[in-house]
Amino acid sequence: MREIKRLNGIIFPDNLSNSKSINSYRINMGIYILMFLLYFNINVSSQTKFKKMDIIKVGSTVPSFSLKDQNGLNFNINSVKGKKNLVIYFYPKDDSPGCTKEACSFRDQFEVFNKQDALIIGISGQSVKSHLEFAKKHRLNYTLLSDEENKVRKLFGVPTSFLGLLPGRVTYIVDKKGEVVFVFNSQLNAEKHIEEALRILKNLK
């Protein structure tokens, strides 16, 4: 009984002496409840989706998929799987600040990746046209794939960021056996993806 009274006191405090305070309190409580329900719904939804799919992790074989590149040409991952090391990085959006830093860092280290016999592949949900403009603007010298329906993102099980409001930024390193050997997930440290990818590749036999 004491616990019920204590809870009642928290939800309906006695120090609300006027209607203005009561209305303000009700508004704040409504906002908190709405935020909680939104978070709960997104969390449950995300968990349900992940249960239905096989999340790609270290030790997984990279799945087969085919998408159009920035030039409108069909790119099939099976054409390079098992032949080269692969750096497959998912990013949120063309030409956004963080994604531009990441893309340009991959560009600047292109020759270093090439020495590791690694192919760089960027994937996001924008159109072929958007990818081409992005690539031309920043002189990107590697493949960008258009995943407008987010099928490949879902195939990999790439998680979202910021309560599901932003597509995740995740990099997968795949060896010449077609096996995922490293996964790096960081939305905010965009340029760290390049550093981590090179660190892993240099240790591959």
Complete DSSP assignment for the chain:
-HHHHHHHHHHS-TT--SHHHHHHHHHHHHHHHHHHHHHHHHHHHHHHHHHHS----TTPBPPP-EEEETTS-EEEGGGTBTTBEEEEEE-S-TT-HHHHHHHHHHHHTHHHHHHTTEEEEEEESS-HHHHHHHHHHTT--SEEEE-TT-HHHHHHTPPPBTTTTB---EEEEE-TTSBEEEEEE-SS-TTHHHHHHHHHHHT--
12 pLDDT higher than 50: no
* 124 and 153, same domain (yes or no): yes
* 43 and 128, same domain (yes or no): no
Residue 44 domain boundaries = 2-52
* 83 and 177, same domain (yes or no): yes
| Predicted confidence (pLDDT) per residue in 103-138, tens digit | 999 999 999 999 999 999 999 999 999 999 999 999
| Predicted confidence (pLDDT) per residue in 147-200, tens digit | 999 999 999 999 988 777 789 999 999 999 999 999 999 999 999 999 999 999
* 112 and 191, same domain (yes or no): yes
Going by their DSSP bridges, the two strands 74-76 and 85-90 should be labelled as unpaired
16 pLDDT higher than 90: no
Catalytic residue among 67, 87, 99, 190: 99
* 102 and 17, same domain (yes or no): no
**CATH at 102:** 3.40.30.10
Residue 177, in any domain of the structure: yes
Q: In what order do the strands lie in the sheet with 180-185?
A: 74-76, 66-69, 143-146, 118-124, 85-90, 170-174, 180-185
Tokens of 126: 């924008």
Residue 60, in any domain of the structure: no
Domain count, the chain: 2
104 is catalytic: no
* 18 and 100, same domain (yes or no): no
23 pLDDT higher than 70: no
In the chain, the percentage of residues whose pLDDT exceeds 70 is 73
* 141 and 82, same domain (yes or no): yes
* 168 and 109, same domain (yes or no): yes
